[in-house]
Structure 1
């Protein structure tokens, strides 16, 4: 048994109220269980309880055993001086305040119905993947939709933390933040961190100034990626390398690369040089990209904005010095979807929040138009009867698995608590 189960029992009053009494035999009447704030200090604040003939207002602390009070050193913490009731599963020792008065104890195991216990035990028995996998298909659709929306915005809040950190580093320049976020996501999982470092190593004012010559942007990005190191016979390579060192001198930038980009296991269209060329073209075509993106609320407008390719050279090359059959390497719809999920919508959300604006319905509507993501987590949920219809639902399911299921937080989850309530 875990302590969070006792929190659940107390919060939702899942006990038999008849003849409720302390371990000393005093009658207990619960008027208010208190606020479950999940922060430092007692578990429930501002509870109201009648013990015997005395009404008390104060805090409630919950433990598996009474002796946990001393294990956690609460006797030394003044935050616990206002505890009016100690709720435990098993009472094994008395607990006293500093004035030597004994804190009343409610031993819950004597008042919880066996059906509730059985249902909890079934929920937490390890399964092949997650605890509730066999019951997922039975979850009420209305509850699920509401929980998915909460999960979706929790995930956006998490993504916003990185955005606000970048905002602090760039003197509140949202255009620079967008450039960093897009750079990271152009690099995908393998090269994302290196691409982010590249973006951070080039002051965005330089990107602004050089955006009118796409070759200069490409030279900066490829150079910082270490892709212009060494010597080659290729004329385009020589031109980019000349531009790169000229720009380093012009802006007094360091010449070192920002890390080793990876080609291994990438399809050729995802090679880092191809993605960096596309990124250069994006900022060549759109000098005020953040201003444009921030006003977009229609999916087709996003696709229009990201209709771009590489420089002409890369249409016949995947690597320097090695010519290949001509192919226009445009951003695919699926790639733009990833940018929308991981950059555009999070940046829109963070910016609106910074201004105190509400745009939740617009973001949900746009995300719901995007095709569902494909990965092992989403496939697993589908195998247990929870099929995602769009990216709004897949993002919600990823948040559910990573932040709740993986940590066994069933009792913080709307699905888990619903399954317990329906016992």
Structure 2
């Protein structure tokens, strides 16, 4: 048995309340279970009980075994002096208060339905299961699942907001600077995301603001900071960028990264860091006030039009500085733009309008629901469990479910887990 299950049972009063008694045969009536305490001290505060018809107001402490009281040394902690009831699964030791009287104790195992406890144990058993409820999740009511997905999606947005707010604090609320850093991170995708992010933070955004009017200078800045211009390549375009970067490096006292931090191995050429840098340069050069434009966009096609930029002709015929390729536009694909909207634009919109007291959740939901579902191993596995996704809203919600609930066995905090726990046999 786990303590978090006992917290759950107590909070929702999922035990028989008819003629319950303490371990010392005192009659017990629970009027209020109290408020869960997320800080140090007793588990529930300001509970209201009747013990032998006498009303008590105080705190409740919960343990798997009574002896845990001494194991955790509560007897020497004055924070526990106001505990009026000890709730345990197994009463294996008497606990005494400072007046040497036994602390009233409720042994829950006598009052909890066996199906409920069995369901819980089966649900959270760490057997070889991809998610705890993989055999039952497809049976969950669609209405419940839909409402829970909306909650999950906004939890995911709130989590993404943490980084946005950190970057805003670092940049003195410069949204354009934050946009660039987030775009860089997401242009790098999963493999190069962190080093792209590191690059974007390796120089003050004011330098980019001064150079973005000239595509050539901006190119030299990004490729130079990435360490891509340190090689000896006899190429006119390369040598010109290298010379330009040497000037920028001296003028702004820049320190570049090392090229070997960027991964090319086992990547599709379209995702090479060189191509992503060229596309990022084109985007920042074409739209010097990109943030304000993005905040005004509402319809999906407006975003696609904004991200439809032309890269430098050199990169239309190259994937690296050294090797040529068949000429192609190498524009951002709609699927890639979708990822930028999911991971950069929407979190920024959420924080920006929330800070102004005007988040329109329907606008955000309408936009994310227009995007096609993401394709990855997590979404594929949910599909195998008959939980299919029609759009990016659903895939983002499922990722949140998997990563922050299923992986952490937070079944008691999950609407799906709650439903299965109370209404089904989990086998």
Q: Assess same fold via TM > 0.5.
A: yes
**Using the alignment, how far apart are the partners of 1:305 and 1:40 within structure 2?**
51
- Residue deviations 1:319-366 (CA, integer Å, cap 9, x gap): 113221111100001101111111111111122233333222211111
1:371-410 map, 5 Å: 371-410=372-411
- Identify the range of structure 1 (18-27 vs 156-165) with the bigger mean alpha-carbon deviation: 156-165
1:66-81 map, 5 Å: 66-81=66-81
1:158-177 map, 5 Å: 158-177=159-178
Q: Give 5+ residue unaligned stretches, structure 2.
A: none
What does residue 182 of structure 2 align with? 181
Q: In the comparison of the two structures, how many residue pairs are matched? A: 423
Is the CA contact 2:225–2:255 (under 8 Å) kept in the aligned structure 1?
no
What does residue 18 of structure 2 align with? 18
Is the CA contact 1:198–1:258 (under 8 Å) kept in the aligned structure 2?
no
CA shift, 1:256, in A, is 5.0
- Residue deviations 1:281-323 (CA, integer Å, cap 9, x gap): 1110111111111222222111111112321100011111322
Please state if 1:155 is matched with 2:162: no
- Residue deviations 1:19-71 (CA, integer Å, cap 9, x gap): 20000000111111122344432222222111112111122111100111222
- Residue deviations 1:217-276 (CA, integer Å, cap 9, x gap): 111111111111121111110111111111122223234548621111111011001101
Is the CA contact 2:371–2:391 (under 8 Å) kept in the aligned structure 1?
yes
- Look up the SS of the partner of 1:23 in the other structure: coil
- Look up the SS of the partner of 1:14 in the other structure: coil
The two structures have a TM-score, normalised by structure 2, of 0.95
**Using the alignment, how far apart are the partners of 1:358 and 1:97 within structure 2?**
51
**Using the alignment, how far apart are the partners of 2:20 and 2:206 within structure 1?**
69
- Look up the SS of the partner of 1:84 in the other structure: strand
Is the CA contact 1:197–1:258 (under 8 Å) kept in the aligned structure 2?
no
What does residue 211 of structure 1 align with? 212
- Look up the SS of the partner of 1:60 in the other structure: strand
CA shift, 1:94, in A, is 2.0
Please state if 1:43 is matched with 2:43: yes
Please state if 1:315 is matched with 2:321: no
What does residue 34 of structure 2 align with? 34
What does residue 55 of structure 1 align with? 55
What does residue 85 of structure 2 align with? 85
What does residue 97 of structure 2 align with? 97
What does residue 352 of structure 1 align with? 353
What does residue 364 of structure 2 align with? 363
Instruction: Give the direction of change, closer, same or farther, for the CA distance of 1:144–1:283 in structure 2 (3 Å limit).
Output: same
**Using the alignment, how far apart are the partners of 1:386 and 1:49 within structure 2?**
44
Is the CA contact 2:272–2:319 (under 8 Å) kept in the aligned structure 1?
yes
Instruction: Give the direction of change, closer, same or farther, for the CA distance of 1:153–1:37 in structure 2 (3 Å limit).
Output: farther
What does residue 229 of structure 1 align with? 230
The two structures have a TM-score, normalised by structure 1, of 0.96
What does residue 305 of structure 1 align with? 306
What does residue 418 of structure 1 align with? 419
CA shift, 1:14, in A, is 1.4
Instruction: Give the direction of change, closer, same or farther, for the CA distance of 1:99–1:290 in structure 2 (3 Å limit).
Output: farther
Please state if 1:327 is matched with 2:324: no
- Look up the SS of the partner of 2:58 in the other structure: strand
Is the CA contact 1:224–1:258 (under 8 Å) kept in the aligned structure 2?
no
- Identify the range of structure 1 (89-98 vs 72-81) with the bigger mean alpha-carbon deviation: 72-81
CA shift, 1:191, in A, is 1.1
Instruction: Give the direction of change, closer, same or farther, for the CA distance of 1:258–1:169 in structure 2 (3 Å limit).
Output: farther
Is the CA contact 2:191–2:263 (under 8 Å) kept in the aligned structure 1?
yes
User: Pairwise CA RMSD of aligned residues?
Assistant: 1.6
What does residue 292 of structure 2 align with? 291
Is the CA contact 1:373–1:391 (under 8 Å) kept in the aligned structure 2?
yes
Q: Give 5+ residue unaligned stretches, structure 1.
A: none
Instruction: Give the direction of change, closer, same or farther, for the CA distance of 1:79–1:145 in structure 2 (3 Å limit).
Output: farther
**Using the alignment, how far apart are the partners of 1:287 and 1:334 within structure 2?**
24
CA shift, 1:142, in A, is 1.5
What does residue 268 of structure 1 align with? 269
- Look up the SS of the partner of 2:173 in the other structure: coil
- Look up the SS of the partner of 1:202 in the other structure: coil
Is the CA contact 1:59–1:83 (under 8 Å) kept in the aligned structure 2?
yes
- Identify the range of structure 1 (80-89 vs 126-135) with the bigger mean alpha-carbon deviation: 126-135
Instruction: Give the direction of change, closer, same or farther, for the CA distance of 1:285–1:44 in structure 2 (3 Å limit).
Output: same
